[in-house]
């Protein structure tokens, strides 16, 4: 049985899109980057910790496979997590304005016998944003709960001038890499 260690509606939607049968688990994993930890190591660790926490909740059931994922926006080695408030969201958007940033999305599958991961790195270039555009976007409420303070699948799409990589990876779960990982892991699918 496959379990998604996430309450993210986007991750659920993307798994459903590729016809995967799964149940969800709510896990609470600290998302704090360690001193000296690279952005990719950080994102990978958090995704793996989510999957492992899910497996622990299932008491290491022999038939359980748990999927954990994490996605973060990275600019100049700085990880842009979810904004704390409107001012934080606006500051993130100002930093991303007119620049190209990386979106790191890591998926881990964990079972009692095995662990395997897939990494997806996309490059996203934002258009130049003026203060009124930033304020209007923040006022929609969409930036909250989103890494980098934007949702490419929503109104945030209008901020993106160019995407090189995985659209679904920027959303929070790279579909191609996840499907390949599920096949490699012999995970059950519908």
Whose CA is closest to 154, among 135, 164, 173, 167?
167
Gap between the Cα atoms of 48 and 69, Å rounded:
7
Gap between the Cα atoms of 74 and 76, Å rounded:
7
Gap between the Cα atoms of 109 and 122, Å rounded:
21
pLDDT of residue 61: 85
Alpha helices in 5-122 (DSSP H): 9-17, 39-57, 86-96
Gap between the Cα atoms of 15 and 107, Å rounded:
12
Whose CA is closest to 137, among 108, 121, 158, 119?
158
Residue 39 burial (CB count, 10 A):
19
The 3-state DSSP class for residue 92 equals helix
Catalytic positions are 70
In percent, the amount of the chain with pLDDT more than 90 equals 92
The enclosing H or E element of 137 equals: helix 131-139
pLDDT of residue 190: 45
- Give 54-99 pLDDT, tens digit per residue: 999 998 888 899 999 999 999 999 999 999 999 999 999 999 999 9
Is the pTM higher than 0.95? Answer: no
Can you tell me the mean pLDDT for 43-62? 94
């Amino acid at each position: 049985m496959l379990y998604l260690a996430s309450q993210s509606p986007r991750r659920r939607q993307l798994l459903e899109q590729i016809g995967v049968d799964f149940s969800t688990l709510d896990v609470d994993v600290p998302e704090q980057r360690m001193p000296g930890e690279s952005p990719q190591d950080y994102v990978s660790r958090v995704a793996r910790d989510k999957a492992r926490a899910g497996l622990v909740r299932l008491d290491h059931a022999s038939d359980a496979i748990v999927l954990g994922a994490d996605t973060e926006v990275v600019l100049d080695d700085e990880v842009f997590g979810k904004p704390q408030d409107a001012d934080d969201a606006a500051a993130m958007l100002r930093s991303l304005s007119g620049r190209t940033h990386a979106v790191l999305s890591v998926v881990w599958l964990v079972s009692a016998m095995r662990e395997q991961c897939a990494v997806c790195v996309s490059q996203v270039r934002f258009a130049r944003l003026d203060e009124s555009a930033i304020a209007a976007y923040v006022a929609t409420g969409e930036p909250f709960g989103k890494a980098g303070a934007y949702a490419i699948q929503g109104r945030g799409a209008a901020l993106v001038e160019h995407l090189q990589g995985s659209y679904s990876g920027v959303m929070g779960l790279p579909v191609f890499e996840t499907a390949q990982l599920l096949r490699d892991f012999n995970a059950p699918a519908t």
